[in-house]
Chains A and B, each alone.
Chain A
Amino acid sequence: MVEVLSPAGNLEKLKWALMYGADAVYIGGEDYSLRANAGNFTINEIKEAVSFAHNLGKKVYITTNIIFHNEDIKNLDDYLITLSDIGVDAYIVSDLAVIKRINELKLKPEIHISTQESTINRGSAEFFKNLGASRVVLGREASREDIIDIKENVDIELEVFVHGAMCISYSGRCVLSNYVTKRDANRGGCAQVCRFNFNVPSENISDYQICSKDLCMIDYVSDLIDIGVNSLKIEGRMRSLYYIATVVNSYKNIVNKKLNNNLTKEDIEYYKKVLNRLSNRENTAIFYASKPGASEQYYTGRKEESNQDFLGIVLEYNNGYAKVEERNNFKIDSEIEVFSPINSARKFKVSEIINENGEKVMSAKHPQEILKIKVPFEVQKNDILRVPIY
């Protein structure tokens, strides 16, 4: 079985990720995680997350993948033991100090080697296997050829990034943030200087950029499964609930169709459209099939407008009416698509909207308002309403 692995920046996102098809989630604690600005989990929240996931037969991995400085070592043992006692399924680590402590303390959770180590060849995969790692998260620079070589030569699980933002550098090999903004990139403070604008004074260039497009491997999911990759990883612990649900659902559907031998080109094209609508940067496959060039760089600036596609969440369904929590505006005659953890996406035209006061209204324009709308087919609690994808 191949795993769809989702990020979760907080407990709510974790629940939605698992509900929408993730087989496992990765989360960060309040210390030692590379997203200092994500809504990282307290110990009690980690307990709840693990309990929630395990009740669904799913897994929770915890990032402890900063590059440790001396001062970070002090409370490490207590933290690792606490996580083990809670029952997290794996530590995602990059620093050998952490691997050493996990091994010496004989802790139960598996060791997954973070992409921060930029593992792209069989030699380094073998090195980590010998240290007790059960999995490596490959460097995003690993090509198809590299992945096959590692798979064929090293008995270790492989996790591959399939979707989300890209570092412009080999992971861990960038301290631009440290030098330009005095924020430590390898301890969770990355300021994403690679997305800043630069001048080249000698050439009178004022718009030099080194920003990468985002990654989208939807064309290659089938191939990755055939190669024997064990986990398909989605980036984005700071992304929204809607983003997480949509991306997880798209990849999970592709995986299920592949495993059921009914994946079609039309399916891939459809989910590509779904994913493209979400992104605020263009996305493409990068490194897997060829070395990146200008087409994989992003020179046109970030779209800062917020995505308005997320229209609402279904709370319940009775007698042809869905009770929904509105997120973005829609109106009578709007076409809406419902996507859900269980069913394929279905569309309908809005014919009736009833507001909180029981009045029929022409439009829904108050986000968070609880409305009733007429839906011509049965929908489930936690189904998501969105702008249709064509």
Chain B
Amino acid sequence: MNKYFMIPREKDLNKYKENIILPIEEFSIGFDVYYSVKEINKISSERETSVIINKLLHKKELNKVIEVIKELKNIKYYFIEDLGLINYINKENIVLYQNHILSNYESIRAYKDLGIKNIMISNELTIEEICEIKDKTNSNLFYMFISRNTLLYSNRKLVSSYNEYKCAFMNKKSIIKEDVSGKELIIKEEGDSTLIFDKNIFSANEVVKLLDNINLVINFSNMNEFEEDKILNNYKKDNLGLEIDDYFLKNKIGYKISDIK
């Protein structure tokens, strides 16, 4: 039986029946809403709550977040990107969420040996790879089940810089289209950083039966109200009722010279 976790799109949390993962002010990035420590502590006293800290942390941020973690109460899981936090959080409560990185059973076993058993696997895996990981590990796996996947995380202001150079007024959240492929992406600048998301919604609903015993995360960030409603109504069904892109679930992609040429 799958357990679902949801990253909310807005602060009306009553909509979200399952366990929730809350982005935290200053230390999470790429979400529509962020919560203060006070808000998180209030929510976590009432329902099962996890926190996502997905920024890579420079010195000052690391020092600050260590103090913030001490103030947080009743947190089920900390979804963390930066390995620098591992020594500051009880390993039982860590979900290692290194975007794009955790892609094979052997590294998941390696983390288990280090006491980190909760692992968010990469979204660029085929369903066969996911099943093999499931078979060959006994870690507590998580998977970004429905989301607009993050494709790039930059520590630069990629919109403001362009605006400054070109005297343009591009919105800090815009849709950009690659010239040749026509691929549409969402770019979003936040603070000193910028993220790029796939404009297509990823969903693994079609193969949900193969994902048994994996914790499934639904990220509502960068969704509109219509998409959110569809997902909330259909996330346990085979079909989401939305146009989705699950290319990477079904296709291996090339990388070696022989694959590419």
Q: Which residues of A contact B (CB under 8 A)?
A: 31, 36-37, 66-70, 72-73, 94-97, 99-101, 117-128, 139, 141-143, 145-146, 149, 168-170, 172-176, 178-184, 186-189, 193-194, 196-203, 205, 207-210, 212, 287, 291-294, 296-297, 299
Contact = CB atoms under 8 A, between A and B. Distances in A.
B59 A297 contact: no
A200 B58 contact: no
Nearest to B82: A124
Interface string B153-183: 1111110111011101111001111111101
A189 B59 contact: no
B98 to A, nearest CB: 8
B208 interface: no
6 contacts: A37-B257, A174-B153, A175-B152, A182-B251, A291-B157, A297-B161
A196 B99 CA distance: 23
A143 B107 contact: no
A189 B152 contact: no
Contacts of B151: 174-176, 178-179
Most chain A beta-carbon neighbours within 10 Å: one of B171, B194, B253: B253
A74 to B, nearest CB: 10
B257 A201 contact: no
B81 to A, nearest CB: 8
B16 interface: no
Contact of A97 (B104, B164, B166, B257): B104
A96 B102 CA distance: 9
A146 B180 CA distance: 39
B169 A122 contact: no
Contacts of B178: 180, 193, 196-198
A299 B133 CA distance: 43
A170 B154 contact: yes
Interface in B88-144: 88, 99-101, 103-107, 109-111, 113, 122, 124-125, 129, 132-133, 136
A210 B179 contact: no
Given A198-B179, A200-B170, A123 B110 contact: no
A170 B83 contact: no
Nearest to A113: B83
A69 B104 contact: yes
Given A179-B183, A200-B174, A36 B257 contact: yes
Given A37-B260, A197-B179, A294-B165, A170 B56 contact: yes
Contact of A96 (B57, B62, B107): B107
A146 B254 contact: no
A92 B208 CA distance: 37
B162 A297 contact: yes
A143 B170 contact: no
Contacts of B153: 169-170, 173-174
A100 B99 CA distance: 20
Nearest to B86: A127
B257 A210 contact: no
A181 B124 contact: no
B260 A189 contact: yes
A218 B190 CA distance: 31
Given A121-B59, A200-B174, A294-B165, A168 B158 contact: yes
A183 B157 contact: no
B132 A70 contact: yes
Given A118-B56, A169-B152, A170-B154, A67 B175 contact: no
Given A123-B82, A186-B100, A200-B176, A176 B162 contact: no
Nearest to B177: A199
A201 B175 contact: yes
B243 interface: no
A64 B257 CA distance: 16
Contacts of B86: 123, 127
Contacts of B164: 293-294
B110 A143 contact: no
Given A124-B84, A149-B59, A100 B255 contact: no
Contacts of B103: 67-70, 186
A188 B256 CA distance: 7
B87 interface: yes
B83 A182 contact: no
Given A145-B59, A174-B152, A294 B161 contact: yes
A383 B136 CA distance: 56
A31 B185 CA distance: 31
Contact of B253 (A73, A118, A182): A182
Contacts of A128: 83
Contacts of A66: 255
Contacts of A125: 84
